[in-house]
Chain A
Amino acid sequence: MLRLPRAHDGDAGKGNGVIHPDSVQHINVKVFVAAGVKIDVADAVGVFHRWIKDSVCPEMLIDVAEYRHVPAGPGILLIGLEANYSFDERENRLGLLYNRKAPLDGTFEARLAQAHQAALAACDLLEKDAAFGGKLKFDRSSLEVFVNDRLLAPNTDETWQALKPELAKYFPNAAIERRGEPRDLFRVAVY
């Protein structure tokens, strides 16, 4: 017979000592939809199915998941093997989120650049897609960068101190601000 213990405290927000930027993986970039844009996000379902059919992304694309029924949720996701793309609605702010799942070689800067370029490329494709009738516009100067791994990069001061110079180097002309509470993923706003 197995006996399970009373739950311990979770790991959220606990520092992990020294953070090495080049060991950080799973960098996510969210590009927000421009202010005032009104689109029907449901149209993205058909667009993403078409992207799978036409293999429009460098990643292997697998499926579409739809969560519009959940308020401020992950929205509509295009599930890939190496990364997911989504029309993300977290915090009720619509944007295109690139969620890198597979690890990448190279430096933090190279990984950030990959995620950023992938997100921007997806934004370009979506803006041109006839499904949105020319109404969809992204504000490429309004981003969030996440690290989707609490062990490699918890949302702590240590991570912030380690990654801030790298982020500032990559976004030299932007303001960068740490966001969220300790339990959240490490997240910065770039604007």
Chain B
Amino acid sequence: MRPSNLQWKTRLGDRVPEPLSSEIDVFENEIALRKQGKIEDRIFAETRLRRGAYGQRYDNGQRSDGQTTRTLNYPDVPTKGPNTIWDAPGMQRIKIPFGGLNAPQMETLADLCEEYSDGIAHITTRQDVQLHFIHIDDTPALMRRLAAVGITTREACGNSVRNVTACPIAGVCREQTFDVTPYAKAITYFLLGHPDAQSFGRKFKIAFSGCKENACGLVRLHDFGAIAVTREENGKTRRGFELWVGGGLGPVPQQARLYDEFVPEEEILPISQAIARVFARLGEKKNRNTARLKFLVSKLGIEEFKKLVAAEREILPYDPRWTSYLKDVADYKEEPLKPAALLQIGQPRPEGFEQWHRNNVYQQRQQGYATVTVALPLGDATATQLRALADISRKYMKETVRSTVEQNLVLRWVSEADLPALYTELKHAGLATPVAGTIVDVSSCPGTDTCKLGISSSRGLAGELRTRLAAKNAEMDETIGGLRIKVSGCFNSCGQHHVADLGFYGVSRKKGSYTVPHFQVLLGGEWGNNAGTYGLAIGAVPSRRIPETVDRITTRFRTERMTNETFQAFIKRLGKAECKKMIDEFTAIPSHDEDASFYSDWGDPREFSIGDIGVGECAGEVIYPIDFELVACEREVFEAQLQLEAGNVEKAARMAYESMLHGAVALLKFRFMFASDTPDKIVEDFRKNFYDTEIFFDPFVKGKFAQDFFKANEEAGTIRTAEKTHQLIEEAQLFIEACYACHARMTATPAKVTA
């Protein structure tokens, strides 16, 4: 406990407004009570999550050093959640609604990351800020300091309405229908702490977009996504939203469904409340793997869901807040600090300015003003950089800064004539890297660096790709330069790999007694059209060979692209079989003796292991039949994709289901040397020996992948739509991944635990 923690309350006094002040007092008391053992750890865990205080890797007190798993000798005090050590560093997520930041907020974030964290503020793919390596005892002081500058961490995590995201160029965008900022702000504070949004089975994500075509809002991957639209009625222009519901990424990605082509602006808050009520009442509560809104929408069907929401809307008691903010919407606008002035042709320009201007500067709809993107490497900014940005935002604009879902910051309302001077100041602060929106600007979730769920090092890979691609940046043509790469450390998709041209998510593979870090390669996801298309996996490649894989794919696109052909169209034209051929030569894993580098991950010299269980030392190369059988299953899933692509829906569904059956058989044979050849008996044996015993359970999603298998068995032989078959293929892919992981766990030498 830092001695200053308790003093901050007095120091800040009434600068911490109600009700935030009281809420933080309550949390501080809950911390004290938990330390006295008077609150159950699972209750305390949800309490802190709803304040944004999240767990971090190794907080169970176990850590692999590459050879063995060691116990970290933390003091013996109560846990802060089930199996979560009190003193273990955690992560603090800080909500930044629609990404809006001002100068004092950036200065406070700078102070906090220096004093409580590791000196870095990390921008997330939801426009949040995250601080890592935070001690739970420090969180009340940290929250008070944030509250004093108008920021809350409330409901940043947990089963709640997460940070509401919006286009970072809303209001200055040339293509927008109207500025969605005031609506995003209104819904944020309407639903924050709202009684109808407190009993969800899972999180609920909201996004606003100013137009349909661009990607900034990524509406179609959200639970509740609103696109600005207008209608002419009685000679007047009426504002409203095209509303999409039930989208999401994660292990089972799903595109949102169209709820209504036009929800009038005065209805957007009450509809959000009605949806929250329906979700809270009917959404899954026990099984968190099927508890997101997307599963409820799928289960009910969009028409039934709409009926239920409409019925709920009918009985909602009137709330003046639904529309009270609208009277100010027409007047809502940010203002520039400086007069509009164009960049003059003869104006002196510093070295490097042109490339930066080309990639990082966006000409606003307001003539003479520009929005500048500050491309942050892996979303990271130092305290010094945040202070520099605060100064710059005061000098050139009226502190109009926003974070972006691409883990960058944008500076809005810069007078164009100021751009050379601004560039010079950003460059001095190390903030003028000219790569915004290019292939170099790789996004990544925290992955194994700090996330408890990470399988492979997403940040390690992203950093390596960024370094290699930056070296080639100047010579890359626009065809390649405009592609996007996104990396996730696991299938949970926090890196948004589904909506990248080239997406990667972390998996692992066995090679003898070793576990080798890999990434699944996804091609052809669409960033535009509000994340209009998700990429599909084409195969897993060892982490070490991903840079070569990127090089191969991008080179082929550059050399074989037809005139004006997009990357998505190119991938579609090649077909999945040809795409897989491109990566096949990179899938081989040399033996440990030949190249040990394959057995550690990017940026981490420890021998790779999954979870905290160290993989035993190599006792010679042992290849089990299951190694081959699971590879065959993977191939079957891939072939199912090809069949679906060819329009053979029934065959594709059958193959996907059979790949799951064969995965189960492989595990049964590995364990018992024998497996039935009757599907129902296979399922029965698998359930008894792998599901009921929880051997097959994933640490995060538990038995979800097995449940998908059981469902596929129940529905075997029924006629599926192409969409349902697509989903079955996704589930089969993940089931096979889970078979690999289960096999890895079963064959890992029991960890030698040393103090």
The residue on A at minimum CB distance from B141 is A151
CB proximity of B166 to chain A, nearest CB, Å: 17
Interface string of B137-176 (1 = CB under 8 A from A): 0000000010111111010000000000000000000000
Query: What residues of chain B lie closer than 8 Å to A81, measured between beta carbons?
Result: 74, 87
Q: How distant is the Cα of A101 from the Cα of B111 in the complex, in angstroms? A: 15
Query: What residues of chain A lie closer than 8 Å to B378, measured between beta carbons?
Result: 69
Cβ of B671 under 8 Å from chain A: no
Q: Are B149 and A49 in contact (CB under 8 A)?
A: no
Q: How distant is the Cα of A185 from the Cα of B115 in the complex, in angstroms? A: 9
Q: Are A62 and B89 in contact (CB under 8 A)?
A: yes
Q: Are B192 and A23 in contact (CB under 8 A)?
A: no
Q: Are A10 and B111 in contact (CB under 8 A)?
A: yes
Cβ of A38 under 8 Å from chain B: no
Query: What residues of chain A lie closer than 8 Å to B301, measured between beta carbons?
Result: none
Q: Are B3 and A10 in contact (CB under 8 A)?
A: no
Known contacts A2-B192, A67-B120, A73-B120; decide if A151 and B377 are in contact (CB<8 Å): no
Q: How distant is the Cα of A60 from the Cα of B15 in the complex, in angstroms? A: 37
Q: How distant is the Cα of A136 from the Cα of B409 in the complex, in angstroms? A: 37
Q: Are A7 and B105 in contact (CB under 8 A)?
A: yes
Q: Which of A47-91 contact B (CB under 8 A)?
A: 49, 52-53, 60, 62-67, 69-74, 77, 79, 81, 84, 90-91
Q: Are B132 and A10 in contact (CB under 8 A)?
A: no
Cβ of A148 under 8 Å from chain B: yes
Q: Are B321 and A103 in contact (CB under 8 A)?
A: no
Q: Are B65 and A53 in contact (CB under 8 A)?
A: yes
Q: Are A7 and B120 in contact (CB under 8 A)?
A: no
Which interface class (under 10, 10 to 19, 20 to 34, 35 or more) fits B?
Answer: 35 or more
Q: Which of A1-58 contact B (CB under 8 A)?
A: 1-12, 16, 23, 25-26, 45-46, 49, 52-53
Q: CB within 8 A of A65: which of B15, B66, B72, B132?
A: B132
Known contacts A2-B154, A151-B4, A183-B387; decide if A72 and B72 are in contact (CB<8 Å): no
Cβ of B189 under 8 Å from chain A: yes
Q: CB within 8 A of B20: which of A1, A4, A77?
A: A4
Query: What residues of chain B lie closer than 8 Å to A90, measured between beta carbons?
Result: 119, 382, 384
Q: Which of B51-99 contact A (CB under 8 A)?
A: 57-58, 63, 65-66, 70, 72-74, 87-89
Q: How distant is the Cα of A74 from the Cα of B65 in the complex, in angstroms? A: 23
CB proximity of A96 to chain B, nearest CB, Å: 15
Cβ of B107 under 8 Å from chain A: yes
CB proximity of B352 to chain A, nearest CB, Å: 14
The residue on A at minimum CB distance from B135 is A101
Query: What residues of chain A lie closer than 8 Å to B66, measured between beta carbons?
Result: 49, 53
Cβ of A149 under 8 Å from chain B: yes
Q: How distant is the Cα of A95 from the Cα of B66 in the complex, in angstroms? A: 28
Query: What residues of chain B lie closer than 8 Å to A10, measured between beta carbons?
Result: 104, 107-108, 111, 149
The residue on A at minimum CB distance from B108 is A10
Q: How distant is the Cα of A66 from the Cα of B154 in the complex, in angstroms? A: 29
Q: CB within 8 A of B150: which of A4, A12, A53, A148?
A: A4
Interface string of A100-136 (1 = CB under 8 A from B): 0101000000000000000000000000000000000
Q: Are B4 and A62 in contact (CB under 8 A)?
A: no
Q: Are A70 and B381 in contact (CB under 8 A)?
A: yes
Known contacts A62-B72, A90-B384; decide if A49 and B11 are in contact (CB<8 Å): no
Of A11, A49, A77, most B-chain CB atoms within 10 Å: A11
Q: Are A65 and B145 in contact (CB under 8 A)?
A: no
Total count of chain A residues near the partner, CB < 8 A = 49
Q: Are B3 and A74 in contact (CB under 8 A)?
A: no
Cβ of B262 under 8 Å from chain A: no
Q: How distant is the Cα of A88 from the Cα of B687 in the complex, in angstroms? A: 53
Query: What residues of chain A lie closer than 8 Å to B4, measured between beta carbons?
Result: 25, 149, 151-152
Q: How distant is the Cα of A149 from the Cα of B141 in the complex, in angstroms? A: 12
Interface string of B383-424 (1 = CB under 8 A from A): 011010000000000000000000000000000000000000
Query: What residues of chain A lie closer than 8 Å to B385, measured between beta carbons?
Result: 70
Cβ of A164 under 8 Å from chain B: no
Q: How distant is the Cα of A73 from the Cα of B388 in the complex, in angstroms? A: 13
Cβ of B472 under 8 Å from chain A: no
Q: Are B58 and A62 in contact (CB under 8 A)?
A: yes
Interface string of B102-115 (1 = CB under 8 A from A): 10110110110011
Q: How distant is the Cα of A83 from the Cα of B690 in the complex, in angstroms? A: 43
Q: Are A63 and B58 in contact (CB under 8 A)?
A: yes
CB proximity of A151 to chain B, nearest CB, Å: 4
Cβ of A179 under 8 Å from chain B: no
Q: CB within 8 A of A84: which of B105, B108, B118, B149?
A: B118
Query: What residues of chain A lie closer than 8 Å to B463, measured between beta carbons?
Result: 69
Query: What residues of chain B lie closer than 8 Å to A73, measured between beta carbons?
Result: 119-120, 380, 382
Q: How distant is the Cα of A1 from the Cα of B320 in the complex, in angstroms? A: 12
Q: Which of B636-685 contact A (CB under 8 A)?
A: none
Q: Are B115 and A148 in contact (CB under 8 A)?
A: yes
Q: How distant is the Cα of A49 from the Cα of B65 in the complex, in angstroms? A: 7
Query: What residues of chain B lie closer than 8 Å to A53, measured between beta carbons?
Result: 65-66, 70
Q: How distant is the Cα of A67 from the Cα of B118 in the complex, in angstroms? A: 10
The residue on A at minimum CB distance from B4 is A151
Cβ of A178 under 8 Å from chain B: no
Query: What residues of chain A lie closer than 8 Å to B193, measured between beta carbons?
Result: 1-2
The residue on A at minimum CB distance from B193 is A2
Query: What residues of chain B lie closer than 8 Å to A9, measured between beta carbons?
Result: 104
Q: CB within 8 A of B382: which of A6, A25, A70?
A: A70
Q: Are B605 and A2 in contact (CB under 8 A)?
A: no
Query: What residues of chain B lie closer than 8 Å to A101, measured between beta carbons?
Result: 2, 135
Query: What residues of chain A lie closer than 8 Å to B152, measured between beta carbons?
Result: 2, 4
Query: What residues of chain A lie closer than 8 Å to B380, measured between beta carbons?
Result: 67, 69-70, 73
Q: Are B189 and A149 in contact (CB under 8 A)?
A: no
Cβ of B194 under 8 Å from chain A: yes
CB proximity of A88 to chain B, nearest CB, Å: 8
Query: What residues of chain A lie closer than 8 Å to B12, measured between beta carbons?
Result: 11
Cβ of B8 under 8 Å from chain A: yes
Cβ of B575 under 8 Å from chain A: no
The residue on B at minimum CB distance from A24 is B3
Q: Are B114 and A148 in contact (CB under 8 A)?
A: yes
Q: CB within 8 A of B2: which of A3, A8, A77, A103?
A: A103
The residue on B at minimum CB distance from A82 is B87
Cβ of B1 under 8 Å from chain A: yes
Q: CB within 8 A of B111: which of A11, A65, A70?
A: A11
Q: How distant is the Cα of A91 from the Cα of B192 in the complex, in angstroms? A: 40
Query: What residues of chain B lie closer than 8 Å to A12, measured between beta carbons?
Result: 107, 111
Query: What residues of chain B lie closer than 8 Å to A3, measured between beta carbons?
Result: 189
Query: What residues of chain B lie closer than 8 Å to A5, measured between beta carbons?
Result: 17, 150
Query: What residues of chain A lie closer than 8 Å to B111, measured between beta carbons?
Result: 10-12, 150, 183
The residue on B at minimum CB distance from A47 is B605
Interface string of B194-218 (1 = CB under 8 A from A): 1000000000000000000000000
Q: Are B89 and A1 in contact (CB under 8 A)?
A: no
Query: What residues of chain B lie closer than 8 Å to A103, measured between beta carbons?
Result: 1-3
Q: How distant is the Cα of A66 from the Cα of B447 in the complex, in angstroms? A: 13
Query: What residues of chain A lie closer than 8 Å to B19, measured between beta carbons?
Result: 2
A-B contact pairs, 5 of them (CB 8 A): A25-B2, A52-B63, A62-B63, A73-B120, A101-B2
Other A-B pairs, 6, CB within 8 Å; known A10-B111, A11-B148: A4-B17, A4-B147, A5-B17, A11-B108, A12-B107, A26-B115
The 7 closest A-B CB pairs, nearest first, are A71-B430, A74-B119, A151-B4, A7-B149, A53-B65, A69-B377, A10-B107
